[in-house]
Amino acid sequence: MGIMVKLGCHVSIAGSFVNAVERAQALGCDTFQMFTRSPRMWATKPIEQPAADTFRAALVVSDIGPVIDHMPYLPNLAAEKSDLYDRSVATLSDELNRCGMLKIPYLVTHLGHHGLWGRKKGLENVIAAIGHALDNSEGDTMILLENTSNEKNTVGGRFTDIGAVVDGLGCNLRIGFCFDTCHAAAAGYDLNGHGAETVFDRFANEAGVLSRLRVVHLNDMKGSVGSHLDRHEHIGLGTLGEDTILGILTLSKISHCAFIMETPSNKVRNDAGNMAVARRLAGDGEGKT
């Protein structure tokens, strides 16, 4: 038996919030990630209290957790244009409030893309945006900063970017980390050649202590190491492969994390298939009953 880790997938809320819980149960998830709104639209309807109550009650019965919310795709916390920046900050604040209603403990966010003013200004914008959102929202949801593939003009592609945000926010206890394995390797952090322990040690040295790391996005990758290509692949079928995924899943210093798969679902393999492979690699073949 290997290290017991919490495994889950990103599931849809289509129909109602409570449907996400039912979908996670059907997949045998220990934990799951979701959006609370359409990820490709700015506008959203407020969450009604009965829907929030039903969701929370279903979670208690399911014994699944933690639940992770992911920010929608449109906000850019590093934006230079004031209208986009203001809208992004307002969305982050609103999303924290939505998490508060649903009692979701973690909200994952990308840091965004800077413009002509450069990375330094982009980081300053991110720090100000998160600080404002934390000060102007209800609840105690932790914001998890996610590393990116370090594509052009990105903020967060370097581990030092994440560390700079933590420092800029005075090491606020409501700031944590989400480590995406595909993004890290695409950014040039060689999980294959250097190994999981070396890369996570570097992350701890440059971003912050691993006690802040709460979620690992467990994704294989289509591109090569250092390609900056954000293309996820089925567990074990991409560039990382089963040996590297095994090293990540069995690394004791991150075993406290929720491992969330954002892998494709197609004719090759669906979410249940990827869950089964991850269970096997983690040495937890039976999963939840």
Per-residue pLDDT reduced to its tens digit, 52-77: 999 999 999 999 999 999 999 999 99
- Cβ count near 237 (within 10 Å): 17
Left (φ > 0), alpha (ψ -120 to 50) or beta: where does 278 sit? alpha
pLDDT in tens, 273-282: 999 999 999 9
DSSP3 helix / strand / coil % (the chain, rounded to 5): 40, 15, 45
217 within 8 A of 179, measured Cβ to Cβ: yes
Torsion over CA: 224, 219, 211, 192 (sign)? negative
Would you say residue 288 has pLDDT above 80? no
CATH class of 6-282: alpha beta
- At 287 the pLDDT is 37
203 within 8 A of 159, measured Cβ to Cβ: yes
Q: DSSP letter for 254, please.
A: G
Place of tokens 């004719």: 267
Would you say residue 270 has pLDDT above 50? yes
- At 284 the pLDDT is 58
Distance CA 271, CA 11 (A): 9
